[in-house]
Amino acid sequence: GRESCLVGLIGSGVGPSLSPALHQREADRHGLRYLYRTIDIDLLGLGPDGVGELVRAAARLGFDGLNITHPCKQTVIGHLDGLSEDAALLGAVNTVVFGEDGRAIGHNTDGSGFARSFARGLPDAPTGEIVLLGAGGAGAAVAHALLTVGADRLTLADTDPARAAGLAGTLTTRFGAARVRTVQGGGLPAAVEVADGLVHATPTGMAAHPGLPLPAGLLRPGLWVAEVVYRPLVTPLLTAARAAGCRTLDGGGMAVFQAADAFRLFTGREPDAERMLTDLTDL
C-alpha cells in the first residue's frame, strides 16, 4: 500500500458529495494521509468532454486516482490507457487509477458495489424474475451484476424505450436472450405482478425528481424492492414499499461498497466497509 494518497472526484455538481468524507474517514482509521478533492466541471465551465484535460492534469500533478461521476463516466473512456473487464463490459468508468508507469486505467465499481450491498442487505432474496426500472448508467451496472450473481430473468423498463432496448442488446450478447426482456409503460404492471423483486435505478425520488417511479398500487408483500438512489437515503419509493409490506434495500449500501472498492484500488489496502456504512449514516 501507499503511504499517502491524493485522489479526486470529477463530475457535475459534485460539491455536496459524501465521497470525500467516506474515503477520508476510512483512511484516517488506516493511519493513511489521504486527500480527496471534488473537481466540479460546472464550476470550471467544462462539458462532459472536459474530463480528458482534467485526467491529464491530475496525472501530471501526481494524483493516485480519480472517481468519475455523471456526466463523465462514458466520455472519460477515450482519455484512458486501459480498462478493467467490468468497465469495458459496462462502457462506463467510475474509478481511474494512475499507475507508477503513468498509465491511467479505468475501472467500474458500481456493479460490484451493488452486488455486495444486495448480498448483505437482502440475503436469500429470490432472484427468479426481477424488474429493473431505469436503463441508464446505474441500471446497466445493476443489470450486469444481477445476471452475474445468478438472477434467472431481468425485465427492463425505461421511459426512454431506446435506452431499455440498448441495454437489453448488450445483456443479451453476454447472458443470452432468454434472460432479458423489455417492457414499455403499459406492460409494467403485469411484469411487476409476476416478479420476485424490483430494482429502482432512475433519479426519481431525488430532490430534483420528486415522486414515485411507478404506481404505489403495484407494491405488495412478497415483492422485495431495492433502491439505487441514496440521496435521500429513504426515498418515497422505499416509504411506499415498506408501507406495502415489502422487504427493502436502500441505495446507501451500493454507494458505500462502490467507494470501498475504489478505496482498495487507490490504496492497495483493505477497507472496512461495515465501518464505512456506519459513517454514511452519521454523515
Q: Which residues contact 103 (CB under 8 A, 6 or more apart)?
A: 81, 82
Exactly one of 59, 157, 192, 249 binds ligand NAD (CB under 6 A); that residue is 157
Q: Is-catalytic flag, 73?
A: yes
Amino acid in position 53: E
Shortest Cβ 33–ligand NAD spacing (Å): 26
Interface stretch with ligand NAD, choices 48-56, 95-103, 144-152, 199-207 (CB under 6 A): 199-207
With a CB cutoff of 8 Å and minimum separation 6, the contacts of 236 are: 205, 210, 211, 212
Q: How far is the CB of 244 from ligand NAD (least distance, A)?
A: 18
- Residue 255 binding ligand NAD, by CB under 6 A: yes
What's the rounded Cα separation, in Å, for the pair 277 and 271? 11
Instruction: Using the minimum distance from each CB to ligand NAD, give the nearer residue, 26 or 158.
Output: 158
Binding mask 216-245 for ligand NAD (x = CB under 6 A): ------------xxx---------------
Closest CA to 141 of 258, 62, 24: 258
Question: Among 246, 146, 261, which Cα is nearest to 276's?
Answer: 261
**How far is the C-alpha of 275 from the C-alpha of 256, rounded, in Å?**
10
Residue 202 sits in the site that holds ligand NAD (CB under 6 A): yes
- Identify which of residues 32 and 262 has a Cβ nearer to ligand NAD in the complex: 262
Q: Give the shortest CB-61-to-ligand NAD separation in angstroms.
A: 27
Beta carbons within 8 Å of 101's beta carbon, 6+ residues apart = none
The residues that are catalytic are 73
What is the contact surface with ligand NAD in residues (CB under 6 A)?
70, 110, 113, 133-139, 157-160, 163, 201-204, 206, 213, 228-230, 251, 254-255, 258
